[in-house]
Structure 1
Amino acid sequence: MDIARLAEGLHHHTAALARTVAGADPDAPVPTCPDWPLRVLVGHVGQAHRWSAGNVRTGPTPVPDPLDADPGTPDKWSDWLLQGAEDLTDAVRASGDTPVWTFFGPQPATFWLRRMLHDTTIHHADAAIATNAAFAVEPDLAADAVSEWLEVLSDPVTASFRPGFAELCGTGQTLQLKPDDGEGWLVTRAPDRVRWTRATADADVTLAGPLQDLLLVFTRRLPLDRVSVGGDRALAEHWLAHTAA
């Protein structure tokens, strides 16, 4: 996915998030982020965009605490969110081909644009759930979000800062995501790490349904019963129980 599409997606979902929270109670709970009210959700998104832009421009700094973010009064949220997305996009475009710091070693700056696009998309869904608003994500972005999340989960570095993810390793058990349209994902719980590929094949458990629903179930935003579960349901439940971000 090229930089133009990543930037387009980031700005789209940032603006959609801003519209979703406009006029809502800042202290309203966010069921899918149970420790956060809406003001913290908004603060985290804008804070993460700015932090990512800093990683691109000057290198790593400590991961900020969402509770420390200050998005301003609710009437300022939209501008503040959009400015953060623009700041990140500008930083990535200015970086050219220079590798930048990431959790997983030096990578192109588009790493942060992609990471923040998908983080923002899921938090847009959080806001929609909290406010009973509509949510939609285009198929290409939804598919890339699933792949990107699997890339994160399958990298051995991830367990070093989220030890619970190490529980995803196994003895060869397989889990398949099978969208109604398009190619699916086959995940293998190997002893040393999670491995995955784009494929449709027999698996110990298969989650099937609309791509958007699969994404939101896989990222723990919708309950497992939102999709069809075939095979070892306990395996799917174990996976989801150990992928809390």
Structure 2
Amino acid sequence: MDNARLAEGLHEHTAGFAYAATQADPDTLVPTCPEWPLRVLTGHIGQAHRWAAGIVRSGPSPVPDPFDADPGSPEKWSDWLLQGAAELEEAVRASGETPVWTFFGPQPARFWLRRMLHDTTVHHADAALATGTAFTVAPDHAADAISEWLELLANPVTASLRPGFAELRGTGQTLRLAPDDGPGWLVHRTPGGVRWTRDGEPADVTLAGPVEDLLLVLTRRLPADRVTVTGDHALAEHWLAHTAA
């Protein structure tokens, strides 16, 4: 997926989040996002986009506290959020292929465009679920979000940042994600951590369904019964219990 498509998705889901977030009282709690109020979740989105843009432009800075962000009054949320997304897109465009800081070592600036797209997409779902607003994500964006999530889980650095992810290590157990259309993912739980490939042989447990639903189940935004689970249900439950985003 090229940068233009990533940026398109970022703007689309930022706007979608802004709309969903303003459909209820700003103090409404968001159950799928550590019960933050909508105001805090909104602040987090705009704050994160600007934080990522700053990293691209000038290097790392401390992870900001969402409770410190001030998105302003709800009628200003959309403009404020879209401005942050535009700032990130511009920073990435200006950086080109120059490596920038990430948690996983130097990478092209598009790392942050992709990371913020998928973070925003999941939080768009959070806001939609909290306010009863419609949510959808394009199949290519949903598939890339699943791949990126698995890349993060497979990186050894992740367990040092989130120790709970070390529980995903195993002794060869396999989990398959099978979307209705397109190739799926085969995940191996090894003593050294998570390994994965696109599609593959039958697995100990398979989760099948629309790619959008697979993404939201994997990120614990929807219950597992939104997809079809066949095989070792306990393995699927253990995986989901330790992968909340």
TM-score (norm 1): 0.98
**Cα offsets for 1:174-195 (capped at 9, x unmatched):** 0000011110000000100100
CA displacement at 1:31 relative to structure 2 = 1.4
Residue 119 of structure 2 is matched in structure 1 by: 119
Moved over 2 A (4+): none
Residue 34 of structure 2 is matched in structure 1 by: 34
CA displacement at 1:23 relative to structure 2 = 4.1
The 5-angstrom pairing of residues 210-229 of structure 1 reads 210-229=210-229
CA distance in 2 between counterparts of 1:184 and 1:190 reads 19
Residue identity in the other structure for 1:215: L
Residue 237 of structure 1 is matched in structure 2 by: 237
CA distance in 1 between counterparts of 2:34 and 2:65 reads 16
CA distance in 2 between counterparts of 1:197 and 1:241 reads 22
CA distance in 2 between counterparts of 1:91 and 1:24 reads 32
**Cα offsets for 1:69-93 (capped at 9, x unmatched):** 1111111101110010001001000
CA distance in 1 between counterparts of 2:85 and 2:30 reads 22
CA distance in 2 between counterparts of 1:186 and 1:218 reads 14
SS in structure 2 of the partner of residue 157 of structure 1 = helix
1:176 is aligned to 2:160: no
Structure with greater proportional strand content = 2
CA distance in 2 between counterparts of 1:181 and 1:75 reads 39
SS in structure 1 of the partner of residue 99 of structure 2 = coil
Residue identity in the other structure for 2:158: T
SS in structure 1 of the partner of residue 107 of structure 2 = coil
CA distance in 2 between counterparts of 1:65 and 1:237 reads 31
Residue 95 of structure 2 is matched in structure 1 by: 95
**Cα offsets for 1:86-119 (capped at 9, x unmatched):** 0100100000111000000000000000000000
Which deviates further from its counterpart, 155-164 or 26-35?
26-35
Contact kept, 8 Å, 1:178 with 1:200, in 2: the verdict is: no
1:9 is aligned to 2:22: no
CA distance in 2 between counterparts of 1:74 and 1:23 reads 10
Residue 145 of structure 1 is matched in structure 2 by: 145
> Identity, % of aligned pairs?
76
1:61 is aligned to 2:61: yes
Contact kept, 8 Å, 1:139 with 1:212, in 2: the verdict is: yes
CA displacement at 1:56 relative to structure 2 = 0.3
1:189 is aligned to 2:189: yes
1:70 is aligned to 2:78: no
Q: Structure 1 stretches of 5 or more lacking a match?
A: none
Which deviates further from its counterpart, 29-38 or 121-130?
29-38
Aligned length: 245
CA displacement at 1:200 relative to structure 2 = 3.6
Q: Structure 2 stretches of 5 or more lacking a match?
A: none
> Please, what is the CA RMSD of the aligned residues?
0.8
CA distance in 2 between counterparts of 1:56 and 1:215 reads 27
CA distance in 2 between counterparts of 1:241 and 1:68 reads 29
SS in structure 1 of the partner of residue 108 of structure 2 = coil
1:18 is aligned to 2:24: no
CA distance in 1 between counterparts of 2:88 and 2:128 reads 24
Residue identity in the other structure for 2:169: C
